[in-house]
Structures are given as structure tokens and as C-alpha cells.
């Protein structure tokens, strides 16, 4: 097992499974609904023209902090790419990608994604998992980035309560979230390295249902996102098919196939990754203790 994953074996087991990506579209939308993070991501020049691009550039790098060697070094490179992402949004509110709470929320959506993928798409759900250990390893994953945040929840129940509080009171329908959610609800999404969206109505509808179904109920209710009974039944069937289908796939084939695709997508998108401008002598350093 790889050097980084050897310290986070349970997390690596689930991150290295294709199903860890199934709630990924929803995790991205939840990130965008947190105003400072939504503004920081929208500040990237290509976001509205290519909202999927940031996902396909970022996820292979982020997952590799656990699944590949040199995870701590990889994590700090990701952190340092965000040092210059700051500014003021359209409402005059300042944002900074490395503000500790903003950085935690981005990571919290990935923690949520892992647990949600197990709950929905693995046989036995969370009842088969050492939840305390998995959450502790997700906190260790967070600390790889070296961004200090004193309010990281101490255990999984505290994390769920904090995550739910954010969903109920802190999230907003930011322009970047609305843009991405509208695409998702229209089924207008595409796979990595594919230049046009899917046209098959079955695939488009399945994508819409998965994104809507994995949204926390409080978010659907708060923003009036439709969730009819017919969609709920289809979502249950999709989850059942995911559990049944992957139970028949050898774990080795699942993991090796996913890591091959991750490496391929990561290599193919390397030239498109964000490159921060050079820091000038007059640029303010991040507040002490934040990184």
C-alpha cells in the first residue's frame, strides 16, 4: 500500500472506489453555495464557460493526496495554489480561498461525499463501517493541507451537526451555484475530457436524479428544489443498482480501473490547471495561524 494511504487505510479503501465519486456533483454544488467559496471559484476566468473543468482538474489531485505517495507534499502544493485567490464579490464582501472556515467547508463536502457514497451505494451502508475511525482519518486528510482551523468537529456526530447547520443557515444560492445547479437539473453535464454534454435522455435524467437525490433534504427544502415521489423512487432504484452492480465487481478491478482513469484525467488536464501569479514584495501574507 502507498505511503500516505498506509496511514489512512480505511479512507483509502473508500476513496479508491468508483462509488466515492457518485455524490461528487452534489458536493461541488454545496461548495459553491457557501458564499466565500462560491465567489472564489467564480473568480476563475473559465468557470462560467466551463464549470466542469475545475472538477476534472482538481479531483485527481485531491484524491491522490490519500491514494498516492507523498500525500503531504501534494496537499501543500494544492494549498499553495490557492494563496492568491482572493478579492471582493459582487455584494462587496471579501473572500479568500485560504480563510480557514472556507477551506474547512470545501474539505467537509469531500468528507460528506465519502460517507454519503457508503450510505447510499455500498451494501450494508454505514452499518458495515468503523465510523469513528473513518472520520478520524478524514480529519487527518484535512490536516495534510496545513491550514489551521480550531473548530474542526471532534467526531462524526459533531461533524454531522455542523454540516447540517451550514446547510440550514449558511448556504446561499450564489450565482456560481445557480449556474451549476441549473445545468445539473437540466441533465446538461459531461464526462471528463468529453467536449460536449451527454445527449442520451436516460443518462441525462439519471444524472439529474442522482444530483437532486443526494442533495441534503434541508437544502432541497430551503431552495425549493423539486423532488417528486417519482424521482425518489427512481433514485432508490439507482442506489440499489449501484449496490448490486458493484458487489459483483472484484475490488481489485474497481480500484485499479479508477486509479488508471484518475491518472489519465490528471495528466490530460495538467496544462489547464490554475497557475497563480507571482507574489509581489508588497503582497500581504495570509493571517498568522491560518496556514
- Average confidence (pLDDT) over 265-291: 51
Give dist(CA 103, CA 129) in Å, integer. Answer: 27
Is residue 219 a contact partner of residue 26, using CB atoms and an 8 Å limit?
Answer: no
At which residue does the C-alpha cell 500516505 appear?
4
Cα–Cα distances (Å) from 263 to 63, 67, 138, in that order, read 10, 11, 22
Phi, psi of 94 (to 5 degrees): -75, 150
Give dist(CA 200, CA 206) in Å, integer. Answer: 10
**Domains in the chain: boundaries:** 5-272
pLDDT digits (tens, 9 = 90+) for 160-214: 999 999 999 999 999 999 998 998 888 776 655 455 555 667 778 888 999 999 9
pLDDT at 86: 83
Query: How many C-alpha atoms does 237 have within 13 Å on its Cβ side?
Result: 8
Amino acid at each position: 500500500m502507498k505511503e500516505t494511504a498506509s496511514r489512512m487505510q480505511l479512507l483509502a479503501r473508500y476513496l479508491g472506489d468508483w462509488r466515492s465519486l457518485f455524490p461528487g456533483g452534489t458536493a461541488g454544488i454545496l461548495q459553491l453555495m457557501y458564499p466565500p467559496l462560491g465567489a472564489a471559484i467564480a473568480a476563475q476566468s473559465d468557470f462560467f464557460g466551463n464549470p466542469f473543468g475545475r472538477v476534472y482538474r482538481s479531483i485527481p489531485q485531491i484524491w491522490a493526496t490519500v491514494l498516492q505517495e507523498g500525500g503531504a507534499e501534494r496537499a501543500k502544493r494544492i494549498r499553495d495554489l490557492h494563496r492568491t485567490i482572493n478579492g471582493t464579490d459582487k455584494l462587496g464582501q471579501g473572500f479568500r480561498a485560504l480563510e480557514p472556515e472556507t477551506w474547512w467547508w470545501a474539505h467537509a463536502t469531500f468528507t460528506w461525499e465519502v460517507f454519503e457514497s457508503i450510505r447510499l451505494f455500498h451494501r450494508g451502508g454505514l452499518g458495515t463501517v468503523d465510523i469513528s475511525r473513518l472520520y478520524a482519518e478524514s480529519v487527518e486528510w484535512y490536516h495534510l493541507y496545513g491550514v489551521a482551523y480550531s473548530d474542526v468537529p471532534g467526531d462524526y456526530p459533531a461533524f454531522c451537526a455542523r454540516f447540517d447547520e451550514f446547510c440550514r443557515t449558511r448556504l446561499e444560492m450564489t450565482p456560481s451555484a445557480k449556474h451549476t445547479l441549473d445545468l445539473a437539473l437540466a441533465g446538461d453535464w459531461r464526462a471528463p475530457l468529453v467536449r460536449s454534454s451527454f445527449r442520451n435522455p436516460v443518462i441525462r435524467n439519471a444524472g439529474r436524479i442522482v444530483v437532486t437525490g443526494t442533495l441534503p433534504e434541508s437544502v432541497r427544502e430551503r431552495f425549493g428544489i423539486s423532488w417528486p415521489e417519482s424521482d425518489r423512487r427512481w433514485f432508490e432504484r439507482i442506489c440499489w443498482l449501484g449496490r448490486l452492480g458493484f458487489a459483483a465487481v472484484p475490488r481489485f478491478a474497481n480500484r485499479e480501473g479508477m486509479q488508471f482513469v484518475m491518472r489519465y484525467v490528471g495528466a490530460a488536464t495538467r496544462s489547464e490547471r490554475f497557475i497563480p501569479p507571482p507574489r509581489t514584495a508588497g503582497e500581504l501574507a495570509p493571517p498568522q495561524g491560518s496556514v
